[in-house]
Amino acid sequence: MTSLRRRWSIYLLILALALGARVAAAAWWQSRIPAGQHFAFADSHSYWALAQRVVHGEPYQFGPQGRLFRTPGYPAALAILFWGNGGEATSILAARYWGALWGVAAVAATMGLARLLVSESVALVAGLIAAVQPEAIASSVFVLSEATFALPMLLQLTAWAAAWRASEQNCPTTVVVGWSLLSGLAAGIATLMRPGWLLFVPWGAVALLVLLVFRGRPSAEWRRHLAIAATMLLGLALAMSPWWWRNYQVTGHFVATTTQVGASLYDGLNPDAHGGSDMRFVPPFFALQEQADATQETPPEGLFEERLDRRLRDASVTWARDNPGRVAQLALIKLGRLWNVWPNAQDLGSWTTRMLLAASYLPLIGLAVVGTWLSWREHPHLVFCLLPAGYLTSLHVVFVSSLRYRQPAIFTFSILAAVAICGLWERRWR
């Protein structure tokens, strides 16, 4: 009993440290916002406005042409905070503190995943790393979807790993199906937070299948893995179905996520693309679509935002097809931006901030590499800790890239780094 209390005390101390670091970071960041300016990132304005519409029961749309502008996950999370304030918009600092609580929950989920995959000692070290790692802290304090996304992502990975382990141990089918459905449901919630996560389940399923083939695993294991992935897709569809049904009611056809795919694609692939985001092309395309609509003799079909989305997507695809060399060059630039040692030129950050991030990021990556090498045979399930980084890299060498987009992978890298620390410590005293 004493040992159990001691372990729980350590867990609680780590979570208290995570909360303190995030609350302090939220207050510090808010103090740096210039007077008269509410947010540092343009996306935050749309999330804030949509959250207010949710809490007041108003139609879910951003501006006159944005009925499918954003998935409802993060605005709904903000709306919970507003409801706690009597339905009125709370202070932005309170929203940052709210994000800090989500960040603490992500630290707890990191420890839970590490404990399932390896051991309790690794879980404690991973939790400590995630509690104080600057990028993990930063993901909690901005009024952006990253503040809430990490938790369902980690829960998805935990349930997926549990399903795989239950399958290997020949547990009852209901157990495997239950964990698989929970993983899919968490994937759907994560997608409602960040729509780019939609394809993670099929992407991860293919990656794991390739690993099984590479390791020479029997075909029966392949089939079990594919059955888990298929059940996860069912759970994903169940979680997404209210949003899909709402979109069908609005448009009359299926819309998987939002009408911002075309704009996001053009942002990453266009004649002036440089790897980062620069949305100044939107007003000219907006005007072109208005002109095209005005020349039609009959009212154009569908929503304006859908037609604009198609125009941007088609323009991006056409340019990419005609400029494959530049597309390849941009992919390398985006790769460098995503995994850069310190903030890119267009990101916020003083030299002190840059050095702090470099001093924390380089050891984390180095230890994660060592942890992967040490655990390759003994703990094969740790491959789940590599999947987010692989998927986010695949996604952002196409779309725009920034340090912001790698932050969810920092939590799973913390587990790999903890494996390295614990493994090296055991070897030292063996």
Query: Residue 430 — pLDDT band, cuts 50, 70, 90?
Result: low
The residue extents of the domains of the chain are: 2-429
Say what the pLDDT of residue 349 is: 60
Tokens of 234: 């069912």
Helix ranges (H only) for 118-252 are: 120-132, 134-141, 146-168, 173-193, 200-214, 219-251
Rounded to whole angstroms, the Cα distance separating 133 from 152 reads 20
Mean pLDDT throughout 226-246?
97
Q: How much is the pTM?
A: 0.94
Q: Which residues, 6+ apart, have CB-to-CB distance to 183 below 8 Å? A: 155, 156, 157, 158, 159, 160, 163, 232, 235
**What long-range pairs does 245-254 form, CB within 8 A, spacing at least 24?**
246/60, 247/68, 250/67, 250/68, 250/303, 251/68, 251/302, 251/303, 251/306, 252/302
- pLDDT, tens digit, 9 for 90 and up, residues 306-343: 999 999 999 999 999 999 999 999 999 999 999 999 88
Mean pLDDT throughout 283-288?
95
- pLDDT, tens digit, 9 for 90 and up, residues 29-47: 998 888 777 887 888 999 9
User: Considering Cα of 198, then 204, then 210, then 213, what sign does the dihedral take?
Assistant: negative
**What percentage of the chain reaches a pLDDT higher than 90?**
75
Closest CA to 99 of 138, 57, 60: 138
**Torsion (CA) 371, 373, 374, 377 in degrees, nearest 10:** 120
Mean pLDDT throughout 361-389?
92
Query: Residue 193 — pLDDT band, cuts 50, 70, 90?
Result: very high
**Using only C-alpha atoms, what is the Rg of the chain?**
22
Tokens of 350: 């003083």
The answer to whether the beta carbons of residues 75 and 95 sit under 8 Å apart is no
Say what the pLDDT of residue 34 is: 80
How far is CA 346 from its chain centroid? Answer: 21
Cβ neighbourhood burial of 95 (10 Å; 0-12, 13-18, 19+) = buried
The answer to whether the beta carbons of residues 111 and 124 sit under 8 Å apart is yes
Tokens of 2: 């004493």
Alpha carbon separation from 115 to 104, 162, 416 (Å, rounded): 17, 11, 12
Q: Tell me how crowded residue 89 is: count the other CB atoms within 10 A of its CB.
A: 18
Rounded to whole angstroms, the Cα distance separating 320 from 335 reads 17
Alpha carbon separation from 171 to 49, 50, 165, 210 (Å, rounded): 47, 44, 9, 24
